[in-house]
Each structure stands twice: as structure tokens, then as C-alpha cells.
Amino acid sequence: MPVTDVFADTDAGIVDLNKPERGTKCHVYDNGTVTYDAEEITQNDILGEDIAVTPGDTLTVAGIEGFRKTVILCYGNEGGELCKVMTVEQAESSRTTYLGTLICDFRIPAGVRYVRPLWGQLARYAPVITINQPMTCEEYYTFIGVPSDAPAEASLLYGKKALFVGDSICYGACDSEGGVAWAGRIAKGTGLQSRNAGQNGYAVSTVRNKTLRIVRHIHEYEGYDFDYVILHGGVNDAMGLMIEGTEAPIGYPSPYWEPKFFDVSTFSGALEELIYYTKEYFPNAKIGYIVNLPTDRPDVVKLSELGSYMKAARAVCNKWDVPCLDLFAEKDVIDLFAADTQKYCQDNIHPTAEGYDVITPIITAWMENMKSPRPAGSSDAAGESADVTGENENGEKDAAPSKLPFCIAAGAVALAAVFLTATVIICRKRKNNI
């Protein structure tokens, strides 16, 4: 396809790539190797057409999904061999939209004559690209047709940086406003700089294979600096492969604190792993977990089953001192959704735009009041523990999970220490009497 065919407005220097059919389904590996329409990849990426550039040009790419590392593939000639891969980290400058996406400016290096952009197959918008005419966030909002209201400055979240990870509910699969979901709405309303790394089909556990896991995006953001990291997930674990009997085992919290002891084939063990690496990579961030709203879709996941997973999530978060926002116990929201499902949650799983409008203020207030993380190595008594009580599937209050296993383990260690000390003393006395 000639390069001129992908220009929406040549005078404005805009390359319109908002038509996925113009791209090629593929998967780009970390080393830049491209596999086209790879059968082993559940969610392929989209590789755009060749765009002619000149070394020294400023290429602005608007709408980059926050978790993407490979963004631009560079070639010395049209249809030639790959000569360079440009990533977000190599951008000369960047800005975050309230949609949770990035606008990055790249300088075209010497020897590069053509570039091809990469975006996620499930991205609500493909990238919008300009050459030598950097695009502002406001211009991007206008181009893709979303509101550009300026955020308020009064919120405690203003100017802070937040990473949101989770599944399609976190991503905003049924949100009519371009996949904004709660991450984008919070950013728009408060001035929070949010990156929404939620992705359709992802689970906490390995129930849908080792690739489609939420922890993947935590690993991909290692080295970044965030003030907040908000975790979500569990519905796909309860669904499994949407065939009865394929759901992930719920499991239970381990009495230990290292990943080698976590059974990631279970929901509880995998959630422990997710929290472990989140705390490891972002020790100064406020970390929280959103317990999902009740979901009643007997064909894919029963309400009673999801309730058991969310109860397990509270137990894990209690162990790790991670605050929970328990949407499963938000009776007013539940009743509102149930009264008009078509308006708030059409498929009984994913909120609509109106549904996110209801949920967002609750999440915003929770984040604004979230406690700072305890210093590494502090005792369990330091800081305020998460509230892990909530309503179960029968509308009854859950009790906080028992700490008996941890007490038993601690008691066993202490008892062993006493016996060891006594043995050493006895041996020394015997030696002195010889």
C-alpha cells in the first residue's frame, strides 16, 4: 500500500492508522522477531503499514498502550530487513492521556527510511502518528473524538502517577468511551497520570496458560516509578476456559512469603505472587486491590463461585496488608446495577460507560484515603491492616480469615529455638564435667 494512502490529512502531517484492517496480525517478540498471525498467540498484535521517514524527523505516536515495550520497527528500505526497534523508553519526550495511553516523540535515527508502528489487537484505538508536528493531548482527544475536559486540581491524586493492572473489566471492554474505564475516568476527574494495563482475557492464575496472566504487566513495568499500583482480577480465574470444570482452583494463602512457595495454578497462590512482585518492584507505591462486583452469568461463572474467589482475595490481601476496595459488598451499587442491567452492565460482567460512571467515584475516594505502605522490614503491627470483611454470596458478612496457620508456624519456630538452646546448654555442662 502506498504511504500516501494512510494519511488522513497530509497538510496537518497526520498519519491515520485508526483502521485495523490496514494492519497485519502478528506477534513481535522482545528481540524484534515477527511472527505473522501466530497460532500459538491468543491475542496477536497489529503491525501497521510502512511509513516513509527521513533521519532526524520527529515521529509523534499518540495512543500507545502503557504496557507496550515494542512500539516502532525501523527499516533501512521499504520491505527490507529490520534494523532497529524503538521503545517507549527511547522516546525523547512523552505525555500521558487521561485514557491511560501515552503520546511519545521519537527522533528518527540515521539509516532509517521506513517505520512500522505496532499496537495491540484489542486496543480501542490504533496509534495516531504525526511527522514533525508533535501532537498535544488535547489535539489527540479531538482527533479520536473523546471529551477533553481539563481535570480538577483539588484532588489528592492530582499529578500523581498510577498503574492499573487487571482484566477486561479493568481495561473497559464494554465502555463506549474508548476503553477509558475507571483508570481513565479517575485521571480525567483528578489529574492523576494513569496507565491502564488491563487486558482482555487475562487471569491471575495460569488457568488460561502462562502468558495470559496479569502479573506479566507488573514484570513489564519493573523499573518504572509509580505512586499507586492498583490490582484487579479473578473473574477469568472463576470462568476458566468457560467450560464447567476448567476454572482455576481457589487454593489458600501460603504460610510462607516467597514466590517459590506459591502455587500459581491456584487463584490464591497466583494472587500472592502478583502482590509479592508488585511490592518488590514498587516499594514506595501505595498498593491496593479491587474486589470485583458480583457477576451472575450462569453460562460462564455463577455468582456463588465468584463469591468464593473474592473471599479468597480478601484473605490474601489481609495476609499481605494490602487494602481492598470491596465492590462485592457495595450494596447500593449492586442494587442499582440489578435494577437496570441494560444500562449499567449489559452482559452481566462488564460495566458500560454508565456503570463506570457509578463505580469511579468510589474508587477515587478509596485511593485518596489509601494509607502509605509500611517500610520494608517493619513488623505486622505497624500501619493499619486492610479491612477484609465483606458480604459473601449469601449476603452474609465474611469473617476475617484465620491467622492460625501463621501462628502455628511461628510457634513451631520459637519452640525449635528453645529446644536448640537447651541442648547447647546441656552439652556444655556435660563437657565441663568431663
Instruction: Kindly report whether the global pTM for this prediction surpasses the value 0.75.
Output: no
Q: How far apart, in whole angstroms, are the C-alpha atoms of residue 161 and residue 158?
A: 9
Over residues 116-158, the pLDDT tens digits come to 887 765 455 667 888 888 888 888 888 877 777 655 567 888 8
Q: What share of the chain is helix, strand, coil (3-state, %, to 5)?
A: 30, 20, 45
Q: pLDDT at position 30, please?
A: 54
Q: Which residues of the chain register pLDDT less than 70?
A: 1-45, 65-70, 79, 100, 120-126, 149-153, 177-179, 242-243, 298-304, 374-434
- Sign of the alpha-carbon torsion through 134, 138, 141, 142: negative
Q: Which three cell numbers stand for residue 103?
A: 503520546
Q: pLDDT at position 9, please?
A: 35
**Helices 331-339 and 353-368 meet at what angle, rounded to 10?**
170
Over residues 291-327, the pLDDT tens digits come to 988 877 766 666 567 888 999 999 999 999 999 999 9
Over residues 272-284, the pLDDT tens digits come to 999 999 999 999 9
Q: pLDDT at position 3, please?
A: 28
Nearest CA among 171, 178, 183, 235 for reference residue 43: 171
Over residues 194-214, the pLDDT tens digits come to 888 888 889 999 998 877 899
